[in-house]
């Protein structure tokens, strides 16, 4: 698939380098200082991994809002993968709720109603930490994400803080392939990027190729063995009926994620209550 020329770029991509104003930026930093992101394993530690896919840790610590899609439950992938995947999580803090309202207004202004799935609203947020992993005193840059698609229906919006990142859309899944790049955009500190529609969501893949170090940005997360220099918030839509409370997961899925929920519960009243809810329900 040859890259589209600029004037014939399919609609549905929007970038705003200065989306987050200074007050909101400060409020985001204040909120980030309160959370405790976690490291997840890609697959369940209790069931065998899929054939040919060895167990591995994710490249970066994460935090989710609205609902948590634990990697070991394999993310939300309609039409088949919708049950037992999206676990109710903390609501958005005020500053992110405010940004989400602005993004939803922008999307409604720019896209015809027919381009949005029924009930579309941004109720899910993945907070990705990018930086260096430190293991046995050795520092490794793991600030990237390979080619993938986001399967939640409708537009996806991403807000970035910290060092800028090279974000690319590619037409093939060949790792690192350069000639497959159909669009690239540096995602600046405080920027918004929205992508929507068949071409950007379904036809091509997206990836984060690398993250700069020029600004010397770092975030003081209490995550052992990791130095963060960029944080990305990816907002998505999961139909509300597919989000379940922890206690309502199947027994098998609950076993898979209970240790993560217990870890989150150490610092989050929301997850402490979710854990207690399981006991209250006697399940």
Binding site for ligand AKG (CB under 6 A): 126, 128, 145, 150, 158, 160, 165, 167, 187, 206, 208, 232, 234
Task: Name the token pair of 69.
Answer: 């899609």
Minimum distance between the CB of residue 199 and ligand AKG, rounded to whole angstroms? 16
244: left (phi over 0), alpha (psi -120 to 50) or beta: beta
Q: Which is nearer to ligand AKG, 207 or 247 (CB)?
A: 207
Q: What CA–CA distance (Å, rounded) separates 246 from 258?
A: 9
- The H helix count followed by the E strand count for the chain is 5, 14
Residue with Cβ nearer ligand AKG (128 or 247): 128
> In whole angstroms, how close is the CB of 62 to ligand AKG at the nearest point?
9
Query: Nearest distance from residue 211's CB to ligand AKG, in Å?
Result: 9
CB of 186 vs ligand AKG, minimal distance in Å: 11
CB of 239 to ligand AKG, least distance (A): 19
Strand-by-strand arrangement of the 243-244 sheet: 67-68, 86-88, 243-244
User: What does DSSP assign to residue 20?
Assistant: S
- CB nearer to ligand AKG: give 150 or 256: 150
Report strand pairing: 243-244 vs 165-170: unpaired
Nearer to ligand AKG, 167 or 219 (CB): 167
**Least distance CB 273 / ligand AKG (angstroms):** 27
86 versus 274: smaller Cβ distance to ligand AKG: 86
Please state, in angstroms and rounded to a whole number, the distance separating the CA atoms of residues 61 and 5: 36
- Cβ burial of 280 (10 Å; 0-12, 13-18, 19+) is exposed
Q: Which is nearer to ligand AKG, 95 or 194 (CB)?
A: 194
Give the list of residues 6+ apart from residue 60 with CB closer than 8 angstroms, or none.
128, 129, 130, 131, 142, 143, 226
Q: Nearest residue to ligand AKG, using CB? A: 232
């Amino acid at each position: 698939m040859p890259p589209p020329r600029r004037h014939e770029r399919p609609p549905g991509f929007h970038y705003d380098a200065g989306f987050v104003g200074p007050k909101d930026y400060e409020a985001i930093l204040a909120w980030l200082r309160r959370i405790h992101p976690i490291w997840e394993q890609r697959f369940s530690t209790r069931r065998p991994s899929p054939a040919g896919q060895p167990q591995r840790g994710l490249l970066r610590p994460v935090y989710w809002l609205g609902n948590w899609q634990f990697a070991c439950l394999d993310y939300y992938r309609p039409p088949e993968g919708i049950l037992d995947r999206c676990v109710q999580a903390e609501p958005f803090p005020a500053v992110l709720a405010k940004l989400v309202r602005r993004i939803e207004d922008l999307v409604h202004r720019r896209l015809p109603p027919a381009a949005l799935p029924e009930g579309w609203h941004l109720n899910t947020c993945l907070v990705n930490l990018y930086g260096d992993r430190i293991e046995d005193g050795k520092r490794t840059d793991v600030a990237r994400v390979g080619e993938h698609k986001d399967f939640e229906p409708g537009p996806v919006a991403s807000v970035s803080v910290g060092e800028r990142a090279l974000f690319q859309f590619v037409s093939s899944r060949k790792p690192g392939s350069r000639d497959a790049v159909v669009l690239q955009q540096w995602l600046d500190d405080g920027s918004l990027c929205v992508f929507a529609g068949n071409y950007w969501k379904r036809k091509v893949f997206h990836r984060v190729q690398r993250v700069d170090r020029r600004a010397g940005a770092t975030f003081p997360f209490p995550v052992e063995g990791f130095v963060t220099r960029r944080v990305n918030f990816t907002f998505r839509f999961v139909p509300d009926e597919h989000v379940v409370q922890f206690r309502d997961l199947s027994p098998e899925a609950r076993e898979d994620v209970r240790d993560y929920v217990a870890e989150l519960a150490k610092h989050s009243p929301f997850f402490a209550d979710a854990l207690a809810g399981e006991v209250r329900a006697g399940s």
